[in-house]
Structure 1
Amino acid sequence: MFLLRIILFPFSLIYGLIMAIRNWLFDRNIKPVMKVDSAVISVGNLSVGGTGKTPHVEYLLRSLSQQFKTAALSRGYGRKSKGFVEVLSSAEVTQVGDEALNYAQKFDGKINVAVCEKRVEGAQQLLQNHPETEVVVLDDAYQHRYIHRDCNILLTEYNKPFFRDFVLPAGRLREFRSGKKRADVVIVTKSPQSLEQRQKDSFIKGLGMPNSVPVFFSEIAYGAMISLQTKAVKKASEEVLLVTGIGNPQPLIEHLELTSKVTHLKFGDHHDYTIKDIEKIHKLFDTFVSAEKMIVTTEKDAVRLLNSALKTKLADYPWYFQEMTVKIDDESKLLKKIYSYVKSNQ
């Protein structure tokens, strides 16, 4: 791996330089930045994935929607459609993407959800359709600089922080580490439970953020197992076949291994499951000898599996998804900060 990084490093410098020039053009107002008629909160990261963005976006949507008319705008990664599409809970995952559909189904009309690869165009259309909207949450938009944002939230994973990473292709960063300077808030994700203050202080020092930028630490809070077929709730079985198509499944593996024997089948992020995939999964599951066994997947994977022709193929097997949320230290301080950005725009 070290040798490969050395070989790829010159290409990383070229890519990083291109991104640095692009950022310089935005910083000097040579490239235009458009402000829309609502507050805009952006959630994103410097890396290409695996920071736990989706549960943090859900957390913000849930919190903001309790006080403000809230909407979510995503690119709609993996969808086959183009342009602006408003997302209903009954939408096809192929037309809107799994993350946006997950938000629409989870909040079921309490917020408005849309996808558009051009964020300015998407936000303008969303506000035209729903002029009562007070705040738009941009999903994975840290590098989408054409739209003005009132608050830029930067996520970085505790075990894979951006300050120990390299720019693509030698590493996983989308731009140089200096991109951190655009952050108004930093959330360190997937932090260990009961993190001591000295450990937090050490990590914050590594981030190198100015004192004016608050840093929060979040950890994953796992809930129950929810049946894909019946929505029944159950504890993890003695033996688990874990099926994932997400950026970083390691925290989930470690959680399940606390109570179960885990076999993991890993697919690529946002994987589009096929009949052959399901047959392979079921064939492996049939080899498990334990009477107490189940197939576990993530909520994002469940959205793709249930919103396709594969749904009927799952019926004869015990498929469950692992419920998860995030728990943030000093939550009241974070929400006060976020709310202040929204109120200042009113």
Structure 2
Amino acid sequence: MMKILRYLLFPIVPVYYLVTWFRNKLYDLGIKTSTSYNFPVICVGNLSVGGTGKSPMIEYLIRLLKSEHHLATLSRGYGRQTEGFVIADDTATASSIGDEPFQFYQKFDDIIVSVDANRVHGISQLSTLAKPPEIILLDDAFQHRRVKAGFNILLTAFDDLYTKDILLPTGNLREPRRGAKRADIIVVTKCPEDLSEEKKQQIKNDINPLPHQDVFFGSIAYSKSVRNNQDRLDLERLKDTPFTLVTGIANPKPLIAHLKLLGLKFEHLRFKDHHDFNASEIAILKQKSLIITTEKDMVRLQTHFSESGLLYYLPIEIRIDRQVEFDTLISNFVK
């Protein structure tokens, strides 16, 4: 039904194109102003709606930079029940700052995690702190043209390349494909681990990067165990234990394929991205014998489950080909 509706809405695509193109042109010509900064601001984003792996990329950059620099992440805080600028502290929850920022806060205790829908205001607030960050990582801000980030990392998923897509509402693009020209690095995410050099070159040819751009390929590295705050289970031990997979993410296909490849048996309960689980849904989930979910969903579900052996999440990280070259580009920009 949704696919049919999207096709019916195709006449709106040219209108959406003109609106987004005109807005970007105003920024490109300097008629609408962007704010630049005299310290490193790195933006991670995409051209399409959801599902490209922005959170794992932010976490990759945190791990790369945090030992030598005082970092802050700045996100919109999608789905939170607060407004304005908020810095995560001991009272933070997924409801107060959003699920992905709360995930950063739980994993990294030596960085600043902040949210503000107005990124210019958020950066301004961070700059007034007693110990301001040396580097700010902007999460999902590629279309936030009011900020002129010093370095833009554009993500596109292997199975949903922006080069093969069209604009909303029929397609998934937030802005025309030419917006990719603003990127310094383009990362094709969620690639198969055995992706051939021939296929990589084919994708590079489709992307047709500008001379100043470099294209990298990333894959998902799944942990060999699932875990919660009290326990961990090796996935190998679950081959004879059916479980329920719960996902509230934009694209669960790579996760499903990975679990099936391991020979695991499970039912899949799929919810929309950033889903806010209600009481009746929690009651149904509590009737399951074992639940495995994503790390992003875990931060929204964990407060409802005191039983340590019922709910687990599967950690992931991003692996990048030509990692040394990628890291060097980031480090050179920061310097």
**Counterparts in 2 of 1:107 and 1:89: CA distance versus 1, 3 Å:** farther
Q: Match of 2:243?
A: 240
**Counterparts in 2 of 1:319 and 1:124: CA distance versus 1, 3 Å:** same
In 1, Cα distance between equivalents of 2:133 and 2:61: 15
**Counterparts in 2 of 1:2 and 1:279: CA distance versus 1, 3 Å:** closer
* 1:219 aligned onto 2:213: no
Q: Match of 1:335?
A: 327
**3-state DSSP class of the match of 2:222?**
strand
Describe the superposition over 1:72-96 as per-residue Cα deviations: whole angstroms up to 9, x where unpaired.
0000000011110001254122110
Larger mean CA deviation between 122-131 and 95-104 belongs to 122-131
1:270 to 245, 250, 274: 274
Q: Match of 1:289?
A: none
**3-state DSSP class of the match of 1:129?**
coil
Q: Match of 2:23?
A: 22
Contact kept? 1:245, 1:267, Cα under 8 Å: yes
Q: Match of 1:79?
A: 80
Superposed displacement of residue 65, structure 1: 1.0
* 1:300 aligned onto 2:303: no
**Counterparts in 2 of 1:55 and 1:233: CA distance versus 1, 3 Å:** same
Superposed displacement of residue 134, structure 1: 1.6
Superposed displacement of residue 118, structure 1: 0.3
**Counterparts in 2 of 1:130 and 1:325: CA distance versus 1, 3 Å:** farther
Superposed displacement of residue 256, structure 1: 0.8
Larger mean CA deviation between 36-45 and 180-189 belongs to 36-45
**3-state DSSP class of the match of 1:217?**
strand
Contact kept? 1:225, 1:320, Cα under 8 Å: no
Contact kept? 1:253, 1:262, Cα under 8 Å: no
Across the aligned residues of Structure 1 and Structure 2, the Cα RMSD in angstroms comes to 1.7
Contact kept? 2:71, 2:135, Cα under 8 Å: yes
Contact kept? 1:155, 1:186, Cα under 8 Å: yes
Superposed displacement of residue 275, structure 1: 2.2
Superposed displacement of residue 217, structure 1: 0.2
In 2, Cα distance between equivalents of 1:6 and 1:305: 35
**3-state DSSP class of the match of 2:223?**
strand
**3-state DSSP class of the match of 1:191?**
coil
Q: Match of 1:143?
A: 143
Superposed displacement of residue 228, structure 1: 2.6
* 1:311 aligned onto 2:311: no
Superposed displacement of residue 274, structure 1: 1.9
The one-letter code of the counterpart of 1:226 is V
Superposed displacement of residue 282, structure 1: 3.5
**3-state DSSP class of the match of 1:340?**
helix
**Counterparts in 2 of 1:59 and 1:264: CA distance versus 1, 3 Å:** same
Q: Match of 1:171?
A: 171
Describe the superposition over 1:198-237 as per-residue Cα deviations: whole angstroms up to 9, x where unpaired.
1100000011211320000000000033333513343251
**3-state DSSP class of the match of 2:14?**
helix
Contact kept? 2:228, 2:308, Cα under 8 Å: no
Counterparts of residues 14-53 of structure 1 (less than 5 Å): 14-53=15-54
**3-state DSSP class of the match of 1:257?**
helix
The runs of 5 or more residues in structure 1 that have no matched partner are: 287-293
* 1:114 aligned onto 2:114: yes
The one-letter code of the counterpart of 1:250 is K
Contact kept? 1:89, 1:104, Cα under 8 Å: no
TM-score, normalising length: structure 1: 0.91
Q: Match of 1:154?
A: 154
Superposed displacement of residue 68, structure 1: 1.8
Contact kept? 2:226, 2:292, Cα under 8 Å: no
* 1:257 aligned onto 2:260: yes
The one-letter code of the counterpart of 1:200 is K
Superposed displacement of residue 15, structure 1: 1.1
The one-letter code of the counterpart of 1:209 is P
In 2, Cα distance between equivalents of 1:193 and 1:296: 23
The one-letter code of the counterpart of 1:170 is T
Contact kept? 1:41, 1:138, Cα under 8 Å: yes
Superposed displacement of residue 197, structure 1: 1.1
**3-state DSSP class of the match of 2:284?**
helix
The one-letter code of the counterpart of 1:330 is R
Superposed displacement of residue 338, structure 1: 1.0
**3-state DSSP class of the match of 1:172?**
coil
**Counterparts in 2 of 1:178 and 1:279: CA distance versus 1, 3 Å:** same
The one-letter code of the counterpart of 1:311 is F
TM-score, normalising length: structure 2: 0.94
Q: Match of 2:63?
A: 62
**Counterparts in 2 of 1:255 and 1:104: CA distance versus 1, 3 Å:** same
The one-letter code of the counterpart of 1:65 is K
